[in-house]
Chains A and B, each alone.
Chain A
Amino acid sequence: VTLRESGPASVKPTQTLTLTCTFSGFSLTTGGMSVSWIRQPPGKALEWLAHIDWDGDQYYTTSLKTRLTISRDTSKNQVVLTMANMDPVDTGTYYCARTKTDFYYHGMDVWGPGTTVTVSS
């Protein structure tokens, strides 16, 4: 199982960020599977942002719900996260992670290496 994030290294304030998570080794249509996005500002804590389930349901962190959109392309094994109206405080490393909720495991078990995004004019 592998995941890898891709997207722009920098965006300007007010722009929309689009990140892609390309994964292999599992199917997002398998029951109990989902992909989460998590971010980490420099020197700060991890923050869970969103996930999309095996049945296409989307869930978002309450504080950023109005700015986030998560979608999937099961034929390409990709999950896309868009974040609108970017601000310098959104600077950080963005990770995607396989998230399982099945009989044996509940949580984020495999992570991508992360992609760093800087928001600056």
Chain B
Amino acid sequence: QSALTQPASVSGSPGQSITISCTGTSRDIGGYEYVSWFQQHPDKGPKVIIYDVSNRPSGVSSRFSGSKSGNTASLTISGLQTEDEADYYCASFTSINTWVFGGGTKVAVL
């Protein structure tokens, strides 16, 4: 299974909204509503911020939202804050009962 495709970096100013895309195939993103997004700060472990395409775990800010169209999932961060500066990874279930991650996107708050 090939890694999902994410932009290497996205940047925005405080208060702005940004969107990170995650493109796969019909055998992963397009075939299931099982896309997760993870936030990872430097030297820290990943933290799930979106699961099942658009659901937020308890305690995750409502500024994070997820969606999906066809083979592409998206994470939107609204009201960008300096603490949002981190790496973001998407992940999807696949047709062979495995999981696959994206290559990661570094978010910079200018």
Number of interface residues of A (CB under 8 A): 24
Asked if A107 and B102 sit within 8 Å, CB to CB, the answer is: no
| Contact of A114 with B101 at beta-carbon distance under 8 Å, contacts A62-B1, A106-B34 already known | no
CB-contact partner of A108 in B3, B36, B102, under 8 A: B36
Question: In the complex, A108 Cα to B101 Cα: how many Å?
Answer: 11
Q: Which of A44-52, A71-79, A81-89 contacts B (4 or more CB under 8 A)?
A: A44-52
Residues of chain A within 8 A (CB-CB) of B98 are 48, 51, 59-62
Residues of chain B within 8 A (CB-CB) of A105 are 51-52
Asked if A99 and B99 sit within 8 Å, CB to CB, the answer is: yes
Contact with A along B47-63 (1 / 0, CB 8 A): 11001100001000000
Contact with A along B84-97 (1 / 0, CB 8 A): 00000101010011
Asked if A48 and B51 sit within 8 Å, CB to CB, the answer is: no
Report the contact-size class of chain B (Cβ under 8 Å from the partner). Answer: 20 to 34
Could you tell me the distance in whole angstroms from the C-beta of A30 to the nearest C-beta in chain B? 18
Asked if B100 and A107 sit within 8 Å, CB to CB, the answer is: no
| Contact of A106 with B51 at beta-carbon distance under 8 Å, contacts A45-B102, A45-B104, A59-B97 already known | yes
Q: Chain A residue with minimal CB distance to B33?
A: A106
Asked if B34 and A46 sit within 8 Å, CB to CB, the answer is: no
CB-contact partner of A109 in B51, B96, B101, under 8 A: B51
Q: Chain B residue with minimal CB distance to A57?
A: B97
Asked if B101 and A47 sit within 8 Å, CB to CB, the answer is: yes
Could you tell me the distance in whole angstroms from the C-beta of B27 to the nearest C-beta in chain A? 12
Tell me the B residues contacting A by CB distance below 8 Å: 1, 3, 32-34, 36, 38, 40, 45-48, 51-52, 57, 89, 91, 93, 96-104
